[in-house]
Structure 1
Amino acid sequence: RYGLPYRGSGGLNTSKVPDAQAAYETQMCLWPTVMSHTNWVQHAAGWLESGLVASFEKLILDVEGLAMMQHLFGGVEVSTDTLAFDSIKAVGPGGHHFGTDHTIGRYQTEFYRPIISDRLSIGQWEDAGRLDAAQRANRIWKELLNAYEKPPIDPGVEEALNEYVERRKRELV
């Protein structure tokens, strides 16, 4: 390794909609990007049709995939505490660890908690409206947009930015 910054592409795919093709092509494109320790990932989320289309649903789905990768590559702490030899000894052969203090104390931090992935039973999923991943992503981006609050900005800075944007619009037309 030379310690130089490295730019790569991430979530490209040729699908026209946020479907299974978009998901597997995106993941196959992201893995080499992540494994090569890319510093700057361009097109990491939200792209369809080789970058010709931006999709809010795909953006949310890709954020889920990237968050899973981040969790995966976060590593595993190896220590006397995390190896849990005392807990293993206490449970013994044939037992389970689900109710132990060691396991309960780690449920909130050791498992990735998805924002899109559905963990309902088929009956619960049907009762909840039978939404697929793209439909759930659609709901989430709309909720995020509705909850958006404009950050505080100095009125002089805002005025200067607005003037700049208007000037550039005139210059580009």
Structure 2
Amino acid sequence: LACQRHGKDNNAENLGNLVILEFANPGAPVLYGSASSIANLKTGEYSPGSPERGIIHMALAQLVNYYHLPCELCSGNCDCKVPDIQAGFERAMNFTAAMLMGGVDIIDGVGAIDASNAMSPELLVIDNEIIDGIRRLTRGFEVDDDTLALDVIDKVGPGGIFLGEKHTLEHYKKEIWMPEISDKNTFTTWRKMGSKTMDKVAEKVDEILATHKPEPIPEDVEKEIARILKRAETESK
């Protein structure tokens, strides 16, 4: 009964800590969080890349929705040692489980491998695309007169082509998810373009490192951070 026990214990720990924090600093902002998963029964080691982690997080997300608390779930870290196929399916499985429930404000563990003992820049890029795709999945679709477009269907008729219709041009960017890294070409086109797989991701990492300019922290925020650090340093003595 690993999932049941982990869910129960994690919930009790969160609520207990919230009570302690409220006594220590009334009104302090808090996050209900979890990095729970099962143990590998062959070794006894922590095993985050398991479907049981997704089940635990789905249960906790339901509790968070009931409590109306902000929530953070560590759904990214997994058992893989390198950015490989195992990394992809473990992360997609647990990202999806957490995000489908709704009410989760922060997903962390992005880019983490080997149970968060290491980080991979390539996986940061891959995770960004996985999460972006899941966000499209969880958004679903609207059903109304505009999206059904019965008038356009009547106009185009059986066997017609919708690609040139104004309605298609107005809606495709919102309705059709367009990945940045994943290859959507035919096999022949993919071969002509160099048959790239993970090297395509590595190129994206290099591009980001070479061109990205981080936004500066606003001056008032920087002052507040300095104030908090100074207070913490004083109170810890």
Shared fold (TM-score greater than 0.5)?
yes
TM-score by length of 2: 0.59
Q: What amino acid sits opposite 1:61 in the alignment?
A: I
Q: Does 1:49 align with 2:114?
A: yes
**Count of residue pairs brought into register by the alignment:** 159
Q: How far has the Cα of 1:15 moved from its partner?
A: 1.1
SS in 1 for 2:67: coil
Deviation at 1:145, TM superposition (A): 0.7
**Contact map agreement 1:7 1:39 (CA 8 A) in 2:** yes
Correspondence for 1:146: 210
For residue 82 of structure 1, what is the aligned residue in structure 2? 147
Q: 1:46–1:56: 8 Å Cα contact kept in structure 2?
A: yes
Q: Which runs of 5+ in 2 are unaligned?
A: 1-65
> For 1:41, what is the secondary structure of its paired residue?
strand
Contact 1:9 1:33 in 2 (8 A): no
Verify the 8 A CA contact 2:99 2:138 in the aligned structure 1.
Answer: no
Please list every run of 5 or more consecutive structure 1 residues that lacks an aligned counterpart in the other structure: 169-173
Q: How does 1:1-150 map to 2 (within 5 A)?
A: 1-37=66-102, 38-43=104-109, 45-132=110-197, 134-149=198-213
Percent same amino acid among aligned pairs? Answer: 31
Higher mean alpha-carbon deviation, 14-23 vs 89-98, is at 89-98
Task: Give CA-to-partner distance per residue, 1:83-132, whole Å, 9 cap, x none.
Answer: 10101111223333233222233233321111101123333322322210
RMSD: 2.7
Tell me the CA shift for residue 150 of structure 1.
5.4
TM-score for both structures, normalised by structure 1: 0.78
CA contact (8 A) 2:74 2:107 kept: yes
Higher relative contact order (CA 8 A, sep 6+): 1
One-letter amino acid of the counterpart of residue 208, structure 2: L
